[in-house]
């Protein structure tokens, strides 16, 4: 069964982008960490990053279908700046009706500029992990498995 690790705009620059806020680990390293964590939990991580809102929406739709077919457990999603702008991403998650999405932010968005305090994604999220750095992705995956597959050892 698959877990989608979905990353939004500018997260392809992870490691070199504002390292004081986001750390010095590259996206490739974060994705490798997620793949290893998924394997430990008995799952397969698919990692996808896009700077394009529509590509993220299409991926959510695809995983909505896989979830209904029993082939996906859920999704860990860092919508990056689209968190604060995208009604369309909230609608996509609500629209696929079922796919559990854990919203994840590397930095503590509540301790930053006021425009980062609001999330359009949170009303559609099954859970939220904020401020644990890139470890948050693994924590979100663990939370997803604990809640969606409680018998998982």
Q: For residue 110, indicate whether it is catalytic.
A: no
Q: Which of 99, 102, 113 is nearest to 136 (CA)?
A: 102
Cα–Cα distance, 50 to 11 (Å, whole number): 8
Has 29 been labeled as part of a binding site?
A: no
Instruction: Please state the closest distance from residue 35 (CB atom) to ligand DQA, in A.
Output: 19
Active site residue: 22, 43, 63, 137, which one? 22
Q: Is 37 exposed, middle or buried (0-12, 13-18, 19+ CB in 10 A)?
A: buried
Q: Which is nearer to ligand DQA, 85 or 152 (CB)?
A: 85
Rounded CA separation 28/63 (Å): 21
**Nearest residue (CB) to ligand DQA, 32 versus 128:** 128
Strands 72-78 and 44-49: unpaired
CA 55 – CA 48 distance, rounded (Å): 10
- For the window 66-105, what string marks contact with ligand DQA as x by the rule CB under 6 A? ------------x-xx-x---------------------x
**Site for ligand DQA contains 10 (CB under 6 A):** yes
Q: Give yes or no: 118 in active site.
A: no
Catalytic residues: 22, 105
Site residues, ligand DQA (CB under 6 A) = 10, 78, 80-81, 83, 105-107, 109, 116
């Amino acid at each position: 069964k698959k877990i989608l690790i979905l990353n939004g705009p500018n997260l392809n620059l992870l490691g070199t982008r504002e390292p004081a806020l986001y750390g010095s680990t590259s996206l490739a390293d974060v994705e490798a960490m997620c793949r290893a964590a998924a394997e430990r939990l008995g799952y397969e991580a698919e990692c996808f990053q896009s700077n394009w809102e529509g590509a993220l929406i299409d991926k959510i739709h695809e995983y909505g279908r896989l979830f209904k077919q029993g082939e996906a457990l859920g999704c860990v999603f860092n919508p990056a700046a689209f968190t604060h702008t995208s009604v369309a991403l909230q609608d996509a998650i609500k629209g696929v009706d079922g796919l559990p999405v854990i919203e994840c932010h590397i930095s503590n968005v509540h301790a930053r500029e006021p425009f980062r305090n609001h999330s359009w994604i949170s009303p559609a999220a099954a859970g939220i992990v904020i401020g644990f750095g890139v470890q948050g992705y693994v924590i979100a995956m663990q939370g997803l498995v604990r809640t969606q597959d409680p018998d998982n050892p």
